[in-house]
Amino acid sequence: MKFSVRFGLLDMIRFKNLAKDRKRHIMEGAPTPIKADPVNALAQALHPLKLDLAISKVKEETPSTKTFRLEAADGSKKALPFFRAGQYLSIKTSVDGTHITRPYTISSAPNDSLAGFYEITLRKKNGGFLSEYAFSNWKEGTRLTASSPCGFFYHERLRDSADILALAGGSGITPFRSMIKDIVENNKNIRFTLIYGTRTPDDIIFGKELGELAKKAPEKIAVHVVCSEPDSCWNGPTGFLTAESIRNIAGDLSGKTVFICGPQLMYRMLDTELKAFGLPTKGIRREVMGETADVTVIPGYPKELSSKTFTITVRTKGAKKDIPALAAETVLVALERAKFAPPSQCRSGECGWCRTRLIMGDVFVNPENDGRRVADAAYGYFHPCSAYPVSDIEIEAQNGV
């Protein structure tokens, strides 16, 4: 008690003298500006604006899924920026002359970045603009540009419970592979239960590897797979991730933090199913979903406009250009298709990287992905990745478009 009181008093005295000490340090400082900034140099090394990477290995996980290993493009095998398990890379590339970005969760472990590589795992989606191209064209030696690791979908011990329930669907397993490897490799004091929903048995990504990791640390890791379309050889649980199936596997969720990653339909289903457990809002963490596949199902969207085409007037660097935009696609997609290159990362309204000012007209902002600050919404700023034109609009594009 005496120890804590003493240091509390010292803190109060230091605070009282803060302004006086600051003024003294300023007066004692050198008159010439500091040219070298080691703190800023360290920050840039840890969080560079872009990474030049090359694919060093391609592995087929399932008939529809591949894992791409990325290393420094100069072949140096140098360590890459460290990350927290669950974060993503924003891949920046071109497809048939159109510059696009796509966020992909890092599926490898954080320790692997120090060994000089990241891994991202892509599922081929019919009609997917980048996924189909990647499956046909990405191979060893293909060079890609990426952001530094981004995102907030990671375990934070100051906020999250040490008892985690992870609910995955399809390729939403990728952040959980990274988290599980991180827990096992670093012997973290976390109890991690994974329930992985898959459509068919041959669609399970990382199945064998996750089972082996669970055997290495059975007191920390439990892996359960639920199959909605089982074959005659399947002997595990079947159906979907409902409140009943979750309770049968994980029991009472009181005191647990729930992490969710999967397709958008799964998110909306779990919004309903998890209500049965009475969890606090802060106890449920969701990975950003990317752009909404069908905005017409979002409450509040004017469906009568969904087939219309509007005009976006883009102001940038003193010039103006008109481009067409479909009402059912995001402003960001319209800009990319018109060969603009707007900065973007998450494509989910979360990061604010594509923040743009709306000069005239109206947009529908998806409330599920509206990550704007209150001030931005009040002063006419929006995120093109989560906004849809519902009239002709005029925008002031930020530098880089």
pLDDT tens figures, 119-136: 999 999 877 778 889 999
269 and 332 both lie in a single domain: no
Domain boundary among 121, 146, 171: 146
Distance between CA atoms of residues 320 and 101, nearest Å? 24
Distance between CA atoms of residues 354 and 367, nearest Å? 17
Does residue 91 sit within a domain? yes
**pLDDT at res. 260:** 97
Q: Left, alpha or beta for 95 (phi > 0: left; psi -120 to 50: alpha)?
A: beta
Work out the average pLDDT over 20-46.
85
Domain boundary among 286, 317, 337: 286
Distance between CA atoms of residues 120 and 106, nearest Å? 5
Does residue 12 sit within a domain? no
389 and 315 both lie in a single domain: yes
CATH number at residue 207: 3.40.50.80
167 and 253 both lie in a single domain: yes
Does residue 38 sit within a domain? no
319 and 349 both lie in a single domain: yes
Distance between CA atoms of residues 59 and 138, nearest Å? 12
CATH number at residue 58: 2.40.30.10
**pLDDT at res. 5:** 53
Q: To 10 degrees, what angle do helices 2-16 and 18-28 make?
A: 50
Distance between CA atoms of residues 14 and 185, nearest Å? 42
Work out the average pLDDT over 64-70.
97
Distance between CA atoms of residues 321 and 323, nearest Å? 7
Does residue 4 sit within a domain? no
198 and 236 both lie in a single domain: yes
Does residue 296 sit within a domain? no
Does residue 18 sit within a domain? no
140 and 171 both lie in a single domain: no
CATH number at residue 368: 3.10.20.30
The pTM (predicted TM-score) of the whole model is 0.87
Does residue 22 sit within a domain? no
307 and 387 both lie in a single domain: yes
Q: pLDDT band at 15, cuts 50/70/90? A: confident
80 and 115 both lie in a single domain: yes
333 and 267 both lie in a single domain: no
Which range has the worst mean pLDDT, 2-16, 124-138, 249-263, 320-334? 2-16
Does residue 25 sit within a domain? no
320 - beta bridge partners? Answer: 315
* Structural domain range at position 50: 45-146
Distance between CA atoms of residues 329 and 69, nearest Å? 31
**pLDDT at res. 401:** 39
How many Å is the Cα radius of gyration of the chain?
Answer: 24
Domain boundary among 236, 255, 286: 286
**pLDDT at res. 120:** 98
**pLDDT at res. 175:** 97
For 388, the enclosing helix (H) or strand (E) is strand 387-389
- Sign of the CA dihedral with 300 first, then 301, 303, and 305 last: positive
- Within 199-275, residue ranges assigned H as helices are 207-216, 243-250, 264-273
281 and 330 both lie in a single domain: no
132 and 56 both lie in a single domain: yes
Q: pLDDT band at 4, cuts 50/70/90? A: low
Distance between CA atoms of residues 73 and 94, nearest Å? 17
**pLDDT at res. 7:** 55
- b/e for 207-244, b at 16 or more Cβ within 10 A? beebeebbeebeebbbbbbbbeebeeeeeebeeebbee
92 - beta bridge partners? Answer: 101, 145
- Which among 233, 234, 209, 235 is positioned nearest to 223, based on CA atoms? 209
Work out the average pLDDT over 133-148.
95
Token pair of 104, please? Answer: 């992909």
Cβ proximity of 334 and 321 under 8 Å: no
**Tally of domains in the chain:** 3
265 and 240 both lie in a single domain: yes
